[in-house]
Amino acid sequence: MDGSMEPGLLLIPGPVPLPPQVREELAKAAMPHYGDAWVKAHAETREMLRYAWSAPDAHVFPIAGPGHAALEAIGYTFLRPGDRIVVVSNGFFGDRTHEVLLTHRVKADLVSSAWGSAPDFTALRTALKTPAKAVVVVHNETSTGVTNALEPIVEAAHTADAFVIVDAVSSLGGLPLPFAKLGIDAGFTASQKCIAAPAGIAPVAVSRSLWESTDPKSVEGWYLNLFTWDRYEREWGDWHPTPTTISSNLFYAFHRALKLLRDEGLEARFARHAKVAGRLRDGLAELGFKPVGPPAILSNTVSCFAPPPGVDAARLVRRLKDEHNIYISGGLGPLRGKTIRIGTMGTQADPETIDWLLKAVRASL
């Protein structure tokens, strides 16, 4: 365990501990958010984002803000008041997406299934018998530790002429997500999860076909209008490619985290996440914990487990913090007080870290 884990071991489902190289960037003097160094870092960041999304010709934007800012940017840029959309939900973040997009004055129909279960693909196909502009889905449901299969959702959506928006907040960089191959139209993530950067950058990816079929004049707003970001890249790209001031420390830290991701390579990174999550699941099962979801769809980035009978989940979370200086999370919504949630994203996906956690859990039961 190195100093990057001080002062407590952060095993919540994001933010994650920062690698030392990323922390170094945060400690540097502030730099301008324009000029040659910025233009170079910005271009490299966009290239590395295309790699992370496996989307060589997508439009990518490192929006400054949390993951929700990216969701709203996609909403404002590609949806219009009155559009009918279908939101697939099997957990807190699916429901949250629905709540957010309703405020964009779209008609957002919810296709729900029980928390912890797979999406209801049959109900989705039925919902798409009525024309819809888009289908929205969370790839990895952070509230239940379940990964949603995207292929059947993209297929159902495209068959019905709807485009697909994917929340990849707790998956990009940790779980396979071949954006271009799957035919995803718009996706977003957040820097503080599998990319292992500080919170504050929300990368967006948009397919060429969705981009080219959208009339920029039909988009309202400025900051969360992706055409504004595009215009700055095109018109001010040689000196000031982002529309507003972005913290240079944050941006360079994000850029450094992406370099670590690229140097490791996506396949190796996915394999590391899978291996460590498997080790965590096995260790928890041995201690009598039960996953919320069925084995086939358990996530390799977030684990959500109910403790064995007689163990209070909230008390366990507190004891790990107070007695072992380890932060994990409790359940959300109906799972509050009933489950624990543990991240194995980015730096968290480390076998020694997980062994240390399991030892502490054993001692806290």
Q: Which residues bind ligand PLP (CB under 6 A)?
A: 14, 66-68, 93, 138, 142, 167, 169-170, 190
Give me the count of residues in the chain.
365
Residue 255 vs 341, nearer CB to ligand PLP: 341
Minimum distance, C-beta of residue 233 to ligand PLP, in the bound complex (Å): 23
Minimum distance, C-beta of residue 100 to ligand PLP, in the bound complex (Å): 9
Minimum distance, C-beta of residue 250 to ligand PLP, in the bound complex (Å): 13
Which helix (H) or strand (E) segment is 98 a member of? helix 92-102
Minimum distance, C-beta of residue 276 to ligand PLP, in the bound complex (Å): 18
- Please name every residue paired with 108 in a beta bridge, in sequence order, or none if there are none: 85
- For CA atoms 22, 55, 91, 304, the dihedral sign is negative
Task: Reduce the DSSP state of residue 304 to 3 states and report it.
Answer: strand
Cα–Cα distance for residue pair 14/348, rounded to 1 Å: 9
Cα–Cα distance for residue pair 262/269, rounded to 1 Å: 9
Residue type, 103: T
Pairing mode, if any, of strands 201-206 and 59-64? antiparallel
Minimum distance, C-beta of residue 92 to ligand PLP, in the bound complex (Å): 8
What the block records as the tokens of 136 is 């929205």
Residue 69 vs 156, nearer CB to ligand PLP: 69
> Residue number with the shortest CB distance to ligand PLP?
67
Minimum distance, C-beta of residue 277 to ligand PLP, in the bound complex (Å): 16
Measured from the Cβ of residue 274, the count of other Cβ atoms closer than 10 Å reads 17
Pairing mode, if any, of strands 290-291 and 302-306? antiparallel
Minimum distance, C-beta of residue 12 to ligand PLP, in the bound complex (Å): 9
Minimum distance, C-beta of residue 169 to ligand PLP, in the bound complex (Å): 4
Minimum distance, C-beta of residue 130 to ligand PLP, in the bound complex (Å): 26
Cα–Cα distance for residue pair 346/342, rounded to 1 Å: 13
Residue 83 vs 167, nearer CB to ligand PLP: 167
Residue 153 vs 358, nearer CB to ligand PLP: 153
Cα–Cα distance for residue pair 53/48, rounded to 1 Å: 9
Sequence-distant (6+) residues with CB within 8 A of 69 are 63, 202, 224
Residue 191 vs 364, nearer CB to ligand PLP: 191
Sequence-distant (6+) residues with CB within 8 A of 290 are 305, 306, 308
Half-sphere exposure of 102 (CA within 13 A, CB side): 10
Minimum distance, C-beta of residue 117 to ligand PLP, in the bound complex (Å): 17
Q: Please give the C-alpha separations between residue 229 and each of 50, 80, 234, 345, 349, in angstroms, as whole numbers.
A: 16, 19, 9, 29, 33
Residue 169 vs 280, nearer CB to ligand PLP: 169
Cα–Cα distance for residue pair 269/363, rounded to 1 Å: 30
Residue 68 vs 259, nearer CB to ligand PLP: 68
Residue 174 vs 307, nearer CB to ligand PLP: 174
CB 246 within 8 A of CB 64: yes
Residue 38 vs 179, nearer CB to ligand PLP: 179
Residue 66 vs 237, nearer CB to ligand PLP: 66
